[in-house]
Structure 1
Amino acid sequence: MTDPDRHYKILIDHSPDAIVVHEGRRLVFVNPAALRLVGAHSRDQVVGHLFSEFVDQGSLGALRERIRSLEVEGVPSTPTEMMLRCIGGRQTPVESRSVLTLWEGRPAYLAVLRDLSAQRAAERAAAAAEHQFASVVSTLAEGVVVQDPDGIVQSINAAAASALGVDAAAVVGRDLPRELVRAITVVDTDGRPVAHADLPHATTSRTGRPTRFLLGVTRPDGTQVWLRGTSALIDDHPLSHLVASFTDITAERAAAAQLAYQATHDSLTDLPNRLHVVSVLTETMASAERGPIAVLYVDLDNLKTINDSFGHSIGDAVLREVSRRLRAVVPDGCQVGRVGGDEFVVLLAGPSADTDEVSEAVHHALSRPLELDGWTMGVGASIGHVVVPQGDGRTIDDLLRDADMAMYAAKGAGGNRTVRFSTDRTG
């Protein structure tokens, strides 16, 4: 054996890859790495044997075809995966590359085998982890949508599909945000439509930063849901996919709105309550562009008599009917609220608010008989009238007090009339 041949064999013996040489179908050389790969303790267990003894039947056909295709010495075959049958019956996946060569002066085939066991185990673990992750995401109550940089949906879980009112399988591979804007309405918290370029995924793609959002989405069936969530890049590079996670807060938002409504409205008449009337009056007086304001303080003249004669259920019905009639005669843009048991406030503002005309309309509306539960009854009102010119220095409490005083002046004069407040308490 020449020195180059000796050096060549030394390199092969010390190679970390399994290397075998076969002449025809019979193995003539295996390096230590190949012995370890097939579970052999000595070369005698392998050398001299047919290579088919160590190859799974399902891989033999492709192996023989690859060997027959080798015609030029030194040109390796393309990598091929196959399954080895190791001593003891264990099977091991390998990647094999063969090359036509000379071995001790005779034509032979040298094959390099790379053990794929660790790679396959890692792939199985990754697949299991991905499956587990997908299973977790699919069962989340929070909606999750993954999109590519162009907005094309890569995956969408059941919660997201349900919240958006779409078929999960049908939207994968489509530009869901653009289709949502085209087919249905997406609005912000002020009710303004949101353009495609301003949707969370587009903002995140443009800025590279997470985008928090609260949007109202009208689904294909016409119902609206409110979604709160975050859109963020999955990886820190410009072409990263994006993930949007969100929660359907429609019920929460509706409950909050209902609580806010209940806090500012009278439960019996559904009119704004004193808190709300004072808030509106405060905002109106603070407006730099406001014109004159008028306050009508309306007190029913004989509700106590009705309660005593017919019971409080009839009295409640009277209050509801009075509220309906007041709403009907108060101009649009003006406010009517219930501020006490039988007391109402009408806030008039704007050019259409003729206070004398509205006051007369209230008296006329309440003068009509009420038909309730088979009973006919009448109810009148004493009204205190206060005008609030621009630059008026009175506080809200001052205005309501003055209107209340004028109302009591009307009641003291026999009721069923309006008295305008003046400093001498006459009208």
Structure 2
Amino acid sequence: MARHRETACASQSTETVHDMTAPSIAIRPALAHGDIADVPGKRVRAINRVVLFNVKYSPNLGDGLLSECLERELMRSLPDCEVVSVDLAGRTEYPASHGRARGLALALLDRCPAPLRQVAARAMLEMLLRTRLRGRYRVGLSGADAVVIGGGNLLTDSDLNFPMKISGALAEAARLSLPVSVYAVGVAPKWSDAGARLFTRAFANARLTWASVRDIRSQEGWAAHFGPRAVLAEVVVDPGVLASLHYPPAPRSLSGRKVGFCVTDPLAVRYHSDKTSAATLEDWYPAALRSLVEAGFEVALFTNGSPEDREYLHGRFYDWIHHARGPVTLSPSFETPADLAAFVSGCNAIVGHRMHACIAAYSFGVPAIGLRWDVKLDSFFELAGRGNHMLDPASVEAGDVGTRTAAAIADHLDPAPLIARACREVAEFAARLQDAMP
């Protein structure tokens, strides 16, 4: 993938492409951090520590992948600055044991009437914030010069999860009078009344200096929710697009026919979408695998790491193999974002719902078929010019998946321009962070 770095950040040697500690000498924004001291009349102190609030250690490794990419790319532009993530859920590492209760929680919440569900979730979150999370946010902000909310699908309201956690994080930042930026977040078009009040109050009380979102729909959502009360949000590329610059690629399958099939528990799909029912996917998945096998592909089943996805897949794997009547294998579970990136980079195509499996694939030049469920996935495919490779399991026959995958492979994919844009945007953001220093 050195070609990507040469195109995106011309002049960086191939030897440093995957050196996570090497500063970037290739990107020079209009006002880089080293230039600020030379501006007449402007004297600012160096920025030493930037804290990102996100869900880096989510069991869904896509969140970790985008967080690591943003951390590392910021450090290229701010080589003397410490850039760290504070997980909004209080997690500190990627162990496989994380999130094992999540599947049960989702199932219980799915059975609750909406009003009862929100009351129960709020009570649990209030207890967590009071007894554990606010303290962790406070410790994480020690010595910070700037705070960033992002990236990820954070300005969403599923049972008040992010409204309450982000409110707590911003309250701690406000207590220290720290400047706050928002970077490459997803913004849901609808929040509950309680969620809207929490978000609005939290950002109104913060020292919000700049904001960006990861797609046009999120920009529209930001404007609709905050109106003139907050800064306008710019659109930037999701930092997960930089995966090929920060993770070494695996050897590509020699057969040229390896398809990674990312399985998502239908319950999780239903929890975030009203378009695809669990019953549809229960029958659709095995039929899609047979379609791929009949089209001559070798299928490797995997998940992004969420325990509910793993359990769902492992409970059906043998039946699916029998139904597919061909080369279908189960990939080992991944423990880190690097594992996910390595697997995806070694495939010839990817099929799945999970956004950052598709984004990582795009970064490595691997074509993806996106399975429609959340508008955020449509938004990325449109941004990448691959919108015709979105497929809705609720309306597209599973028997067409093999043909659609072959068409995606045949459709030339050049990720270099979008990678170059993402590099430039992070470098410009780094300059903004430095420029905001007193």
Coarse TM-score class (shorter-chain normalised): under 0.3
More helix by share: 2
More strand by share: 1
Higher relative contact order (CA 8 A, sep 6+): 2
Scaled by the length of structure 2, the TM-score of the pair is 0.19
The structure with more radius of gyration: 1
